[in-house]
């Protein structure tokens, strides 16, 4: 009887193949496949029971669209006129300029022409680099 039990245990041990368990996350934020992103996002949105009812999409009437377009063109015309007054027809030149509460400094750098814009009211600053051609 013992040899029969031993033979069965050996055969079962031989037949039972094991494999390595490898963890692979699904979420791309934690190292998963980036193609899972859209699937995870759509699953999360489908399960989301909290809807923001305050967001409403308002379509503009033709009159509102026309008014906005007209205002945009007028502001463009005014800014172009100010640009021509300040810089002339030759374009941007080096120096410091003031437009109301905006202080603009233009100088060459190793990356190209650097334009630094400072809002003196709020202290916010923006820097634009025009690359060399």
Segments making up each domain of the chain, as ranges: 93-132
Check residue 17 and give its pLDDT. Answer: 67
Q: State how far the Cα of 88 lies from the Cα of 68, in Å rounded to an integer.
A: 29
The list of the chain residues with pLDDT below 70 reads 12, 14-18, 86-87, 133
**For 12-38, what is each residue's pLDDT tens digit?**
676 666 677 888 888 888 888 888 888
- Written in H, E and C, the secondary structure of 37-73 is HHHHHHHHHHHCCCCCCCCCCCCCCHHHHHHHHHHHH
Distance CA 80, CA 74 (A): 10
Determine the pLDDT at residue 51: 76
Tokens (6 digits) for 33: 């496949």
Residue 118: what pLDDT?
Answer: 92
- pLDDT score at 125: 93
Check residue 72 and give its pLDDT.
Answer: 92
Torsions phi, psi for 77 (to 5 deg): -65, -45
Instruction: Give the tokens for residue 24.
Output: 């692979």
Q: Say what the pLDDT of residue 18 is.
A: 65
- Identify whether the C-beta of residue 81 lies closer than 8 Å to the C-beta of residue 89: no
Helix (H), strand (E) at residue 127:
strand 125-131
């Amino acid at each position: 009887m013992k040899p029969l039990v031993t033979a069965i245990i050996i055969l079962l041990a031989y037949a039972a193949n094991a494999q390595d368990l490898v963890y692979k996350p699904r979420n791309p934020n934690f190292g998963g496949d980036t193609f899972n992103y859209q699937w995870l996002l759509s699953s999360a949105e489908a399960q989301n029971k909290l809807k923001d009812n305050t967001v409403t999409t308002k379509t503009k009437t033709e009159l509102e669209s026309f008014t906005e377009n007209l205002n945009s063109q007028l502001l463009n015309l005014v800014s172009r006129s100010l640009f021509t007054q300040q810089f002339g027809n030759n374009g941007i030149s080096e120096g410091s300029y003031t437009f109301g509460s905006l202080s603009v400094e233009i100088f060459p750098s190793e990356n190209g022409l650097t334009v630094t814009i400072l809002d003196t009211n709020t202290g916010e600053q923006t820097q634009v680099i025009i690359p060399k051609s």
